Amino acid sequence: MYQLVLLSICPSVVTQVVLQKSAGKCLYCLERSASLRLPVCHHKVLCEVCYMKTNECPTCQAAITIPQ
């Protein structure tokens, strides 16, 4: 149901995100492989570089804390 609502709002953006996620690409840079599983939500959607630059999961917006 949610997919239908999103597709009617912005089909090109939703399609791009679905394709990038299914291809295993980082959802921020869209270039490197999504290589890290986020510790809080367990989504595997970011590369190592983008993980260090962001503070939330692009899928569920869970807060990311980078270990020091």
Domain ranges of the chain: 2-53
Query: What is the reported pLDDT for 2?
Result: 44
pTM here is 0.63
Grouping H, G, I as helix, E, B as strand and the rest as coil, residue 22 is: helix
Is 3's pLDDT higher than 50? no
pLDDT tens for residues 46-67?
999 999 999 999 889 999 887 6
pLDDT of amino acid 4: 47
Q: What are the tens digits of pLDDT across the range 9-42?
A: 555 666 666 665 667 889 889 899 999 899 889 9
Number of CB atoms found within 10 A of residue 57's CB: 19
Q: Please name the residue that has the structure tokens 């990311």.
A: 64
